[in-house]
Structure 1
Amino acid sequence: MESAGSLRHPTHEHELIRRELWKECSVVCSLCRFRFSGPTYRCLGCRFFLDESCASTEPPFQIQHPFHPEHPLTLEGTSDRPLYRCGSCRFRLDVMIAIATLPASAEREMILHIGHPHLLTSFHTNTTLSETCKLCREKIHQGKFYGCSRGCMFLLHQQCAELPPEILHHPFHPQHSLTLEDFQWGSEFKCEACSRAGYPGPGYSCSECDVRFHVHCAAWALPSRDHQAEIEHFSHQHKLRTLHQKESISELKCAVCRDGISGEVQYCYKCRFFLHKTCGDQELPREIMVHPLHPMHPLILQLKPTCNDNDQGSWSKSHKYFRRDNAPIIFRCKESCRFSLDTKCALRVLEEGLVAEIQHSAHGHPLELLIMHSYKCDACQKGLAGLTYSCKIHKCTFKMHISCAKLPLKLQHPLHPSHPLLLNTALSKEGFICSLCRKKSRGFSFSCTDCWFYLDIVCATKRPTFKHPRHEHHLARFSSSCPASLTGDKQQCNSCGKDCGYWDTPEYYGCLSCNFNLHGYCLLDLPRTVQHECHPYHPLVLFDKFVLGRPDDQYCDNCEEIRNPDHGVYRCEECWYTVHIDCVLQPKLLDYPFLHELDRKITCLDKKIKAMEIELQASRKELYALKQEKKTEALKAWRIAHSVNSEEWRGNK
């Protein structure tokens, strides 16, 4: 049975209500297991959510599946995750995988792949699955794929299953052919392309040189039919080809920015020379007449003619700055100075107007601009990578990010609107506890000493997510590891009353000052206009706030309770009828049948509890009487024994 805005789905026992998630909120679909935002069908009594695509999918109640041909599989809708289960044995199967692997008989195609001992069957899916391809480790996306028909959950993309068993003249190893083989457990190796550790499973190797590659590393370097054109670039002596790299590979560096390659990449087969397309299209100046870090001489762009190996260089000191020894493109001093800069650092200094030396109020010594790695910023306690301000005194270890050096001395923060927060640069071993993330920090803080309110630099620079009509202050985003309370206790949602920070919906939103918290899925987009029985004459329009007369004399025209003037309201634009948001929306939530069922169960449990309490009280009285009787009998026994002992003593005497 379906009504407007509601749905009965075979994967869940309760009615699902259509809601619009708040734009900043996302939840996990209980069917496909993907995180989504926007329209959702949710169960008000369970943590069950469906996106629109899964809500429109109706799995059959019973199927005969090739993964388990011995018995039929029956759909079980639970409050956690729906599955197909076998009633005769313990076999169970994810619903989305089961649907995707039920092909028509005419579509079946069998192949034998080196990475799996069983035959693989072709399937087709109209949605992205939560399972990953065993070769490229990416999600099984829409289209054709292959899977083991024996239920091994060995799945391959079509393009991964159709990779050639042998590659001749591969760009990374042109002297010998590469063969696709199945690497077993214990056969550890390092991929020659990305320098990352290898893992068991299919891969390419050269039997003569003991060279091995990940499948995806060998595959993306193969020439593509869509990118056959070659281009010339002034930074390299050979022509470059273009490819698209989905996964970022940090071990292979762009010649300009020195970041890991990803996205559209231009590269040379022979030299393993890489350029991001955006970096390749960038116009680099051939000469910088005056650079702030080396103002005495001009800097010229220097190109290295060859780059024949995959060595990414080591950090070495040149003058007082750092660069990569083998960076193909650098700026160096035009004269005889041993001064050079990477293009990324050289251009960033010019673009941001950085100076070589500053005097900061947080430190008594002058700070100079250097390139540093593997150190920690004294202000925010985060790692340093790249341009950094560091103390000029040799034995002083003070360092800070450029962004931390530009922090304001005073901050008006929405999470503490009553007072401004002052920058505290005093460093102490004891540190402080951040009022937002509840983590200890020994760095700088923005603090209000009157209220004992402290924010570390990371939390202070993160702006609150949004202003919600149900609360007068800004709401910050939290996770289960950072409670929205100065006491650190578990918080409850002010909308549904349930605890915040569950594993499936760890994000929630809260106001620190008021201990006001909302689940992400409780931040429903409120309707702009509603027609309600409390005011049937005109529609009620949503307003962020409405004040008529004195702010301390605002009342709801429906419940006649006092209302907060900073809260959102529903108001009639024609006659100024003004009501709480909850007075308009809350009664509708009480009409769902399963809520009455829950009320009935709660009433039954209350009766059982009262009956057990009566029995327990009677048992306690009986227990007390038995204990008293035991004491009386014990006292009688003691008196009898005492009198017998006394008579024996007199007789002996």
Structure 2
Amino acid sequence: MSTTVKTKEDGQIQHFTHKHPLQLVDLNKEQDEVFCSICQKLCSDVVYGCRKCNFFLHHSCMDIPRVINQHQFHSEHSLVLLTDPSYECQGCDKHCSGLAYTCGQCDFQLDVKCAFLPTADCEVAEWIQRFSHQHSLQLIDPNKEEDEVHCSICRKLCSDFIYGCKKCNFFLHHSCMDIPREINQHLFHPNHSLVLFTKSSYKCKGCDKDCSGLAYKCQACLFELDVECALLPAANCEGAKWIKHVYHHHPLELCDIEDGHEAHCWACRESSQGRHFVCHRCNFFLHQSCAIDLLPQTIQDHPFHPKHCLKIESYNEESFDCRACGKYDSYDSNVLGYCCVDCPDFKFHLDCSKLIPSIKYGSHRHLFTLFQKRGYPGSCLICKDNCESFFLRCVSCDITLHLQCHQLAPKTLKHKHLRHSLFLTKSPLDSDLEYYGHRGEYYCDFCELPRPAEDPVYYCKECDLSADIRCFISQVLLSVTVEEHSEVGEDKDDNFREGKSFTTDPKVVKFDEEIEELASELEHKELRRRKLKAQVEGLQSEIEELSNGSNELEWRIKGLERDRLSYFAYRTSRVQS
């Protein structure tokens, strides 16, 4: 026997749904039809009932729960089964009497039929309940309706059987009923969960439009998204016109950039036309290829900044100061970059993050990285001249060298189509000044592309040919990346011997000792910082766990208080009767 039923010595039972004891009734001996007071369906054979109150129960209906938690129509509070002489069911809007699932905190009541309607997961039923709407939904043939019917989720025309509430003009495709009730870590609002609510009016934070109806809402913030923005596909979804993307907090539209309208991609910073994903509100552009070719949202142990975590951030500033390549350009005001979580001033371009330090210089303790871009504002540590392009950088120590100033960079090069050698020479040449003047528009005689006027070139005096370093970059890199102790010629051996004598120089030894001492102190402080940070994070996690536990206990206490009050009302009514 169910715990909701108590059996008396005379065979009668006490059920919480009725104030009087119930006894077995043989309906075969009854003249009038008898209906179950819970499901309202016809009773047959033997049932439990109270003839005085005309109250009868199917055996199968006696296990009805006294309390329902998180009902689809009213998930905020628990619903308790009580008897009410007159009430309006919030599920079907009908005036009812008798048993009702009642919220003790709100003016909300459901009749038993609406409380136990099947869900959309069940087989096709005439009526269902769904958390996306506060009323019961009826199976409807839209082809028999006078007006066109549109789905309240996807806004598209409905043509096949659907579920809907005609009173609220709310309709759902079968495929749209599977939308989630809650979304965790949404790209537009990753810090808190978004829960589906019905609102009379709100402004969507995704598309900035005034909306009404269903909204995904953050309980902690004034943040709301319409369903369309909340459920946008990702960039790799074929044929998507609108997408959500990890690089931006608004929906992006796929557009063709017309001729004459220049756009800079925030990811690669290249200027181009063609197909882009665009946020018109923020003037945000993203190549279709850059949108799909995703870089990790966070990076640990990056060689440019190994001690801290880096994450992708969008910047809309007057300029962007990249700590990797050193570029500081005003047109980079709209850019995506990696930023250190602990050092906000340390940031660098996404494309710079792909570079790997691989070039050794002398006895320097870090490897250098080759940057093949123009516009570096600093000067070379060796020759003191400006570094216009093709430079080496130790990002950790903020040291920059010309590629050609590397001790192993070749001073002469051979070319298979030239009889003479090419010599590394300062620019501009006398012949350049003669031919080009002082306009600064110099060109490489090999690739015929513009080259920086101040950058050294490989020059053949006999043929009067000058070559930009980029045309011989593979040969130059092969020279500078050869290990210094390898036997590849007398020059390399001389460099190696010179390097060994350099490291034993007393002044250099003193530098190394001081560097090692400071590095050890830095490592000690960094370990201490990480330990303290871990303790803080642990305490925050414990605080959150305790807060969740307190909320759960508070909810359980409230539920017991409601049950206690319901039982008190029941006992009082028994005494009075």
TM over 0.5: no
- The structure number with the bigger radius of gyration is 2
Ranked by relative contact order (alpha carbons within 8 Å, sequence separation 6 or more), the top structure is 1
TM-score (norm 2): 0.29
Q: Higher helix share goes to which structure?
A: 2
TM-score (norm 1): 0.26
